Amino acid sequence: MYRYDEFDAEFVRQRVAQFRDQVQRRLRGELTEDEFKPLRLKNGVYLQLHAYMLRIAIPYGTLSARQLRKLAHLARTYDRGFGHFTTRQNLQFNWPKLSDIPDILDELAEVEMHAIQTSGNNVRNVTADHFAGATAEEVVDPRPYAEIIRQWSSLHPEFSFLPRKFKIGITASEHDRAAIQTHDIGLQLRRLADGGLGFAVWVGGGQGRTPYLAKKIRDQLPEADILSYIEAILRVYNLHGRRDNIHKARIKILINSIGADVFAAEVEAEWARIKDGVLKLPPAEIERIAGYFAAPAFAARPPPAGLRPADRSFDRWVTRNSHAHKQPGYAIVTITLKPIGGIPGDASAAQMEAIAELAERFSFAEVRVSHEQNLVLPHVRLGDLWAVYQELKRIGLAEANAGLVTDIIACPGLDYCALANARSIPIAQRISARLAPRQEQVGELKIKISGCINACGHHHVGAIGILGVEKRGEEHYQLLLGGSGAEDAALASITGPGFSPDGIVDAVETVVDTYLKLRTGPQEAFLAAYTRLGAQPFKEALYGRA
């Protein structure tokens, strides 16, 4: 993974010193809240329902064991003993004191971490396939490009006051685990027609109040041109994105309003002017960064998995939670942070430390964070799976439910978030407990829950999506079906009238029951069945015949 050199380390140090100064000026009253708010947002500091919240960047979801240990330490020392992994591969602490945050940032800098641009109207964390560098499916590891884009976009003088936040996602596989079509810019790394490496470029995806899937505006962009092309996109957006209405300020609105073709033409015109300038990537630079992401020293022939007692729950866990690795003898292991009835995405300090230890012993000290609020040990020898499983059982994170109906994605919701209209966590907990006994029978089914229209739970691309709203001061929930964030991207459709907190749990079970009754067999997953059947049978089951 990327290691800071002197420049990177000094950059973060100066940034922390700058923010420390800004915090002190705020506490002294030399900055009003109006003046301070955009500055603190640029350092990932929110004011939430109960307290400040600090969002720490985990670039493209890659963490070292050492970094994970530091996060555990920070959780214990400055917060309340736990952290929350988010749908953008970041980590949130819910209770930091503003006066402590400069110290927290100093400690993060010690392990090459920061909270720069995890909020604010700038380029946010560049997210990537959480199996990058381990899966056989990818053309090459996309993370070097994510790192290059991350550096280039850090404190960019032209693009630090965009109309709105800007999210870039990148994948290098046909099967899109990074949900690039839901991003402002989605990048697919691929082999070009001339044999070189390059990108297909999508723009204008985004969820929130008005969701859109991204449109492809370029099919063959050579890798050397990626920064200049992104700069052209951002410049057109910065100049023409709406500034009058916060709900219409994302690039998706601009593209939908002028059309993707017109937008692409503007981008191409600007790009033509700058493409051969300072932003052209020298191959040596790409190689230099890629060198940080070289594969670890895999054992050419790891010892075979030894004898162990037959254990059906272990077998279920291996079947469900491990994924084929590009290196024979190895597997990619998903640790779902979704214990049955638990809080999606939360991990205690002790759990983080245990996972760090597992990574050190069994995964070349590397961990990943997925946008589905799970963790990944990317390089585990098959012979070590048993030991990993035993330890995960000890810390309560061995549920064999990756991708199943209990692997629920939920934003923090009204329990934490000042923007929320309804709680999402208790809904997730109750659905999980209700459906756990049948989760294997139900199979692959992604439930995504958002506590408000900002859609941080990504409910628009859930096979079952739930949106919490406020109705006459009380919590109320809309149900959506048929969404997907993968390469078969689709926006979920609302079923009809909403439900009470009790009602929505029943409604989800009704949907599941209907699916089980009407599917052609266990081999027909929920999304396929929904595509075949359409919404009608589900609506009838939910609301009765019209």
Q: Which is nearer to other proteins, 27 or 294 (CB)?
A: 27
| DSSP letter, residue 484 | B
Q: Which is nearer to other proteins, 156 or 216 (CB)?
A: 156
- Specify whether the CB–CB gap between 406 and 341 falls below 8 A: no
What is the rounded CA–CA span in Å between residue 83 and residue 71? Answer: 8
Q: Which is nearer to other proteins, 259 or 283 (CB)?
A: 283
Which distant-in-sequence residues (6+ apart) come within 8 Å of 381 by Cβ?
299, 302, 303, 329, 330, 331, 362
Q: Which residues pair with 191 in a beta bridge?
A: 197
What pairing do the DSSP bridges indicate for beta strands 127-128 and 168-171? Answer: parallel
Q: How far is the CB of 50 from other proteins (least distance, A)?
A: 6
Q: Which is nearer to other proteins, 284 or 300 (CB)?
A: 284
**DSSP string for residues in 400-467:** --TTBTTS-EE--GGGT-TT-SS--HHHHHHHHHHHGGGHHHH-B--EEEESSTT-TT-GGG-SEEEE
What is the rounded CA–CA span in Å between residue 389 and residue 335? Answer: 10
Q: Which is nearer to other proteins, 18 or 210 (CB)?
A: 18
What is the rounded CA–CA span in Å between residue 433 and residue 411? Answer: 18
The distance of Cα 71 from the centroid of its chain, to the nearest Å, equals 18
Q: Which is nearer to other proteins, 171 or 421 (CB)?
A: 421
Q: Which is nearer to other proteins, 314 or 477 (CB)?
A: 477
Q: Which is nearer to other proteins, 9 or 192 (CB)?
A: 9
What is the rounded CA–CA span in Å between residue 76 and residue 70? Answer: 10
Q: Is 536 exposed, middle or buried (0-12, 13-18, 19+ CB in 10 A)?
A: exposed
- Specify whether the CB–CB gap between 189 and 171 falls below 8 A: yes
Q: How far is the CB of 343 from other proteins (least distance, A)?
A: 6
Q: How far is the CB of 461 from other proteins (least distance, A)?
A: 25
What is the rounded CA–CA span in Å between residue 191 and residue 115? Answer: 34
Q: How far is the CB of 85 from other proteins (least distance, A)?
A: 13
Q: How far is the CB of 225 from other proteins (least distance, A)?
A: 11
Q: How far is the CB of 368 from other proteins (least distance, A)?
A: 20
Q: Which is nearer to other proteins, 244 or 521 (CB)?
A: 244
Q: How far is the CB of 42 from other proteins (least distance, A)?
A: 9
Q: How far is the CB of 261 from other proteins (least distance, A)?
A: 20
Q: Which residues pair with 475 in a beta bridge?
A: 470
Q: How far is the CB of 245 from other proteins (least distance, A)?
A: 13
What is the rounded CA–CA span in Å between residue 401 and residue 263? Answer: 42
